[in-house]
Amino acid sequence: MFPDAGPSKAVAIVIGGTTITIGLVSSVGQLDSRSRLATQPRDGFATAMARIEQSVEALCEADSVDPHAIAGIGIGCTGPVDTSTGVVVTDYTLPTWKGHSVTRYLSEAFQVPSVIANNADTAVLGEAFVRDALDQTVVLLTLGTGVGGGVVINGVNYKGAQGEHPEIGHILVRGDGPKCYCGSVGCLEMVASGSAIGASGRRAGFACAVEVFEQARLGDAHAKRIVDRAVQCTSRGVWTLLHTFLPDILIFGGGVMEAHYDLFAPTILAVLARATMVPLHAVSLAQAQPGNDAGLIGAALLLRRHLRASVM
Ligand SMILES: [Zn+2]
């Protein structure tokens, strides 16, 4: 259940490397309306925030909600983000945003409380909520612009040392590269993210990741090799997640998975079928909710919990 924190609607925002989704979520966790805009991080932090502000106001106006009377703003944001200050920590996925606080800007703009978490954390929390699985172990792997994921155990996002979010995109899946921005070689993100597939595609003469997938489906050998490598490496990453967490539900999300799950699923299932040390039959595999709907609901749930904690 959503914590009872008043009847007002919450604004939920999911910031990805490519798209920002904004929604209004009721006090019982119902996503009432949503809008979408391109992130365009290179335009600068202030420009992006001004566009988010306009979109929130437009969404509220369309729903006859006073934007200054909302319960608050829950945010899921890509990339490492300091959840206590709202500051974006690196500029890898959001160039020009590094060092800026998303929560401070939006709280000041609307004069309401706000809370921020990694977008994979809000997504997996929302998935657990909509699947009525807040008392279970739920793991989400996202293949989108980057690769990430999150873990919910008994309704709470799993956090590691120093409260840090698990970095599922940096599970090693290849011993021989490619080099990752984290300093290592062979990380899952460097092979299976939309960015990595696009980069490999450009070296083979394709325009972007979308074209690589299109051509792979048409049987082009170069494109198929790039996609097959992404699929194989993803299967290794999923094997690691299965054996580490043995989740009740293992969910696949992100833009790449939403569009191309059919290309990944057969190999993932074939690899997982070799598992003999875990009760695979007890693990449900699922595709994430379409769009960022679960992420929006998860962001609103985090906000409700934050508000409840601050009045107790
Ligand atoms: Zn890495």
pLDDT at 5 over 70: no
The DSSP letter of residue 283 is: P
pLDDT at 311 over 80: no
Q: What spacing in Å lies between the alpha carbon of 71 and ligand 1's midpoint?
A: 38
pLDDT at 20 over 90: yes
The DSSP letter of residue 36 is: E
pLDDT at 293 over 80: yes
pLDDT value, residue 6: 62
pLDDT value, residue 41: 87
Q: What spacing in Å lies between the alpha carbon of 179 and ligand 1's midpoint?
A: 8
Q: Give the orientation angle of helix 209-218 with respect to helix 221-245, to 10 degrees.
A: 110
Rounded to whole angstroms, how far apart are CA atoms 43 and 49?
A: 10
pLDDT at 271 over 90: yes
Q: What spacing in Å lies between the alpha carbon of 45 and ligand 1's midpoint?
A: 25
Answer for the pair 26, 9: CB distance below 8 angstroms, yes or no: yes
Q: Please tell me the total number of residues recorded for the chain in this structure.
A: 312
Q: Which helix (H) or strand (E) holds 102?
A: helix 102-110
Answer for the pair 238, 268: CB distance below 8 angstroms, yes or no: yes
User: The tokens 């082009």 sit on which residue?
Assistant: 220
Q: What spacing in Å lies between the alpha carbon of 69 and ligand 1's midpoint?
A: 42
Q: What spacing in Å lies between the alpha carbon of 110 and ligand 1's midpoint?
A: 37
Q: How many CB atoms lie within 10 A of CB 272?
A: 18
Report residue 281: phi and psi, to 5°.
-60, -20
Q: Where are the alpha helices (DSSP H) in 149-193?
A: 189-192
Answer for the pair 193, 148: CB distance below 8 angstroms, yes or no: no
Q: What spacing in Å lies between the alpha carbon of 209 and ligand 1's midpoint?
A: 20
Q: What spacing in Å lies between the alpha carbon of 272 and ligand 1's midpoint?
A: 24
Better-scored residue on pLDDT, 25 or 176: 25
pLDDT at 164 over 90: no
Q: What spacing in Å lies between the alpha carbon of 135 and ligand 1's midpoint?
A: 31
pLDDT value, residue 23: 97
Q: Which two tokens stand for residue 113?
A: 């409380």
Q: What spacing in Å lies between the alpha carbon of 178 and ligand 1's midpoint?
A: 10
pLDDT at 2 over 70: no
- pLDDT tens digits along 170-207: 999 998 879 999 999 999 999 999 999 999 999 999 99
Q: Where are the alpha helices (DSSP H) in 131-178?
A: none
- pLDDT tens digits along 82-139: 999 999 988 777 889 999 999 999 999 999 999 999 999 999 999 999 999 999 999 9
Q: What spacing in Å lies between the alpha carbon of 145 and ligand 1's midpoint?
A: 14
Q: What spacing in Å lies between the alpha carbon of 56 and ligand 1's midpoint?
A: 34
Answer for the pair 127, 288: CB distance below 8 angstroms, yes or no: yes
pLDDT at 1 over 70: no
pLDDT at 159 over 80: yes
Strands 156-157 and 114-118: unpaired
Q: What spacing in Å lies between the alpha carbon of 230 and ligand 1's midpoint?
A: 15
Rounded to whole angstroms, how far apart are CA atoms 235 and 152?
A: 21
Band (pLDDT 50/70/90 cuts) for residue 4 is low
Q: What spacing in Å lies between the alpha carbon of 190 and ligand 1's midpoint?
A: 7
What percent of the chain stands above pLDDT 90?
A: 81
Better-scored residue on pLDDT, 144 or 237: 237
Q: How many CB atoms lie within 10 A of CB 265?
A: 16
Give the residue from 288, 170, 190 showing the smallest Cα distance to 240.
170
pLDDT at 7 over 80: no
The environment of the single-atom ion ligand 1, i.e. residues with CB closer than 5 A, is: 170, 180, 182, 184, 187
Q: What spacing in Å lies between the alpha carbon of 131 and ligand 1's midpoint?
A: 31
Cα angle, residue 16 at apex, residues 123 and 51 outer, rounded to 5° = 120
Give the residue from 235, 236, 219 showing the smallest Cα distance to 267.
235
Rounded to whole angstroms, how far apart are CA atoms 145 and 123?
A: 15
Q: What is the mean pLDDT of residues 237-248?
A: 97
What percent of the chain stands above pLDDT 70?
A: 97
Q: What is the mean pLDDT of residues 201-222?
A: 97
pLDDT at 274 over 80: yes
pLDDT value, residue 175: 87
The DSSP letter of residue 103 is: H
